[in-house]
Structure 1
């Protein structure tokens, strides 16, 4: 399995969008590219459970088990089927009203792919949040720039 790399997540999200249905190679690719906890647990009961679900091709159950293991702070907020697509929302604050929650939504014709698309989206957001919002290198000031103090003397 390969290590998680931020540049892999957009291509993985695209791969999930273009997939017609879940397959074992695709599931193992997701585990290899987007999972941090599962590979580090070795041969534990939790990893064995995920692998049994994959072996049984219980894709939705495997996706839910993976979400539980990899994103312990996140919960499934909503799963709905509408107009030929599964809509899945993951949330950190499931009990909040919809308008206050910042859930991550994904959709796909396949339930497992919808769940895993939301999972990859959460991973992508986590990497973006860990990046500083302020540049770490200060820009060079214009040599003609001189700060001026100004007081309002009303």
Structure 2
């Protein structure tokens, strides 16, 4: 687990998002603080300054999309739909694939920015699980009493 994600707790963030009635500045800053790896390391670049201006203007949907663009450059919004009082948002790495072939990550909520952030938090949780070294783990030394034998019968 990376240093930036030591305090990352996806179930806690999902609960915060699920229980929120609407987007607020403290909720957005909590998501940035707990789920974002790139934002703190970029300092005050133009993209982070733009995001902060959107947050100050309370343009929550635009701020959420800007945060996704900053944090998840390989992911795109695949679908945004409104049905039965809830927004359903899907993020995908392969947006051009048919739905049945794509492994999209979905989030839903009555508030569009929170639905987008729910999907964002799920993608970040996947990134934490997948961020393992590419070098295989070395197996521990075998037991001293372990002796391999051949079990083939050539007769």
Shift of 1:151: 2.6
8 A contact 2:8–2:35 mirrored in 1? no
Structure 2: how far apart are the matches of 1:143 and 1:6?
A: 41
1:149 paired to 2:138: no
Aligned match of 2:61: 60
1:39 alignment partner, SS class: helix
Distance of 2:132 and 2:38 partners within structure 1: 21
- Once the two structures are superposed, the pairs formed by residues 71-90 of structure 1 within 5 Å of their partners are 71-90=72-91
Quickly say closer, same or farther: Cα 1:20–1:146, change in 2 above 3 A.
same
Q: How big is the alpha-carbon RMSD for the aligned residues of Structure 1 and Structure 2?
A: 2.5
Q: Residue 9 of structure 1: CA displacement?
A: 2.4
Aligned to 1:47: 48
How far did residue 145 of structure 1 move?
A: 6.1
Alpha carbons 1:90, 1:103 under 8 Å: kept: yes
Runs of 5+ unmatched residues, structure 1: none
1:15 to partner: Cα distance: 1.1
Matching of residue 5 in structure 1 with residue 18 in structure 2: no
Normalising to structure 2: TM-score of the pair?
0.85
- CA deviation after TM superposition for structure 1 residue 16, in Å: 1.0
Q: What corresponds to 2:105 in structure 1?
A: 104
Structure 2: distance between partners of 1:42 and 1:117: 25
Give the drift of 1:39. Answer: 1.7
Structure-2 residue corresponding to 1:34: 35
CA separation of 1:106 and 1:58: change in aligned 2, threshold 3 A? same
Contact 1:3-1:32 at 8 Å conserved across structures: no
Q: What is the Cα deviation at residue 148 of structure 1? A: 3.7
1:60 Cα deviation from its structure 2 partner: 0.7
1:129 and 1:140 mapped to 2: Cα distance?
A: 27
Structure 2: where are the runs of 5+ without partners?
A: none
Q: How many residue pairs align between the two structures? A: 153
- After TM superposition, give the deviation of residue 104 of structure 1 in Å: 0.5
Q: Which residue of 1 aligns with 2:96?
A: 95
